[in-house]
Amino acid sequence: MLPIQKHKTFRLTYWLYLAVIIVVIAEVLVRIQIRYRYGFKHGAIGEIYQLDATTGLRIPIPNLEIEGVKTHININSLGFRGRELSAAKSPHTIRIAALGASTTFCAEVSNNDSVWLEQVRVKLENRFPSYRFEALNGGVPGYGIIASLKNFRRRIVQLEPDIVIFYEATNDISYASRQAAMAMGIINKNQNHYGSALPAFLSRHSQAFDLFYKNIAIVIRQKQASSALKLNNFPTQSAIPFIVCLDSIRQECEKIRAPLLIFTFCTKFRREQAFEQRLANMNTSLYYMPWMAPDTFFEAFDLFNRKIFEFAQQHESVYVDTLHNAIPGDSKHFIDSVHFSDQGCRVMANRVFNALLHEELVQSVITCRQKPKSNF
């Protein structure tokens, strides 16, 4: 081999090795940062869950504790985020169960006490000091209403909840919009929010790539938000499966004589915001639903919230709170498009607490019980 060729080969090998070293260092640093900030050993929230052989559901790992400088998550022995409680309910206890997904689980807040459901529990104990209140957080990130229904039937009903809360919409909107986009030929059946198989593969195996790709993808999708090749009309029939499952949850609640309280869904982005602010507030929604046009997000959430309200109006055992816009759409209350910050959870807790009092649901449970707790 000629000297000049040897030199070129050496330089190519050198830069190749250097690139590999840089990639490895970046991956290590990102994983260390994620573990330091959020407590995840391998850099993913999926470490909190396991597949339950009995139900087939992905559920939180019982007795798990994850702690970082930004958040502290405790899972009790029954596999719910929150304080420890026994399977058997004492006569002087009132249990409030919440069904939903990540916006109910609240992995983004600083600790268990900051989760809106736990704050509701504390408020109720302060308001009704003669009773013990327990919170069953049935929220699991990624759940749609079908999983919530199964979770309710298989894991929560047996724990005898006295009141059931439902708060979720975005995951079902994501699924319904993807189906509509496929039907219209906007995306194919193999496409998801990654766009293609390669970035999906790399993101599964590299936290550094996943972080880089997500941030770049959000910027690109915000710039492409007005592209013609988008789902510009959200089909109204897409909400039908959601309402069918919601009715199944209602029927399960009636069997155990627990009132169902539903909350319309709140987002950071609002119609009254300037266009650029809307796009900024839609960051994660655009990432996970890149086939949706900006205005279609409003159509979708308005449709689901309207159907929730109409459903509640049709059933005496179902109550609804439509004050979703009472939670300000800003960075103080949301960490992204739909997930609450600590401050957002405080406002959401007030919303839930006030709705429980306004509908006199807790008072009705107490009236039926008429057994104040003794010392314990």
Q: Does residue 23 sit within a domain? A: no
Candidates 266, 299, 247; CA nearest to 168 is 266
* CA distances to 177, 216, 218, 221, 238 from 193, in Å: 12, 13, 11, 11, 19
The count of domains in the chain is: 1
Least confident of 2-16, 104-118, 136-150, 311-325: 2-16
Give the residue carrying structure tokens 């209403």.
145
**Measuring CA to CA, how many Å separate 275 from each of 85, 142, 270, 288, 291?**
47, 28, 10, 19, 18
Paired tokens of 335? 């960490």
Give the whole-angstrom CA distance, residue 318 versus residue 208.
45
* Residue ranges making up the domain that contains 315: 62-369
The distance from CA 262 to its chain's CA centroid, rounded to whole angstroms, is 16
DSSP-assigned beta bridge partners for residue 318: 260
Q: Which DSSP symbol is given to 112?
A: G
> Using 50, 70 and 90 to split pLDDT, how confident is the model at 123?
very high
Average pLDDT over residues 3-9: 58
**What pLDDT is stored for residue 376 in this prediction?**
40
Model pLDDT for residues 242-266, shown as the tens digit of each residue: 999 999 999 999 999 999 999 999 9
Q: Going by DSSP bridges, is the β-strand pair 58-60/132-139 parallel, antiparallel, or unpaired?
A: unpaired
* pLDDT, position 39: 73
* 238, part of any domain: yes
- Say what percent of the chain tops pLDDT 90: 66
Q: How confident is the model at residue 215 (pLDDT cuts 50, 70, 90)?
A: confident
Residue-wise DSSP of 295-317: HHHHHHHHHHHHHHHHHHHT-TT
Q: Average pLDDT for residues 363-372, to the nearest whole number?
A: 77
- Among 38-47, 85-94, 163-172, 246-255, where is mean pLDDT lowest? 38-47
- Whether the per-residue pLDDT at 373 is higher than 60: the answer is no
359 located within any domain? yes
Q: Is 38 within a domain? A: no
CA contacts within 13 A on the Cβ side of 189: 1
Within a domain: residue 57? Answer: no
Question: Other CB atoms closer than 10 Å to residue 154's CB: what's the count?
Answer: 15
| 197-211 pLDDT per residue, tens | 777 777 777 777 776
Q: Looking at residue 333, which CATH number applies to its domain? A: 3.40.50.1110
Q: Is pLDDT of 9 > 70?
A: no
- How high does pLDDT run on average in the chain? 88
CA 184 – CA 175 distance, rounded (Å): 14
Is residue 28 included in any domain, yes or no? no
Query: Which residue type sits at 355?
Result: A
Residue 231 lies in a domain: yes
In the predicted structure, residue 29 carries a pLDDT above the cut 80: no
Q: Is residue 212 part of a domain?
A: yes
Collapsed DSSP state (helix, strand, coil) of residue 246? helix
Q: In 3D, which of 202, 226, 225 has the Cα closest to residue 283?
A: 225
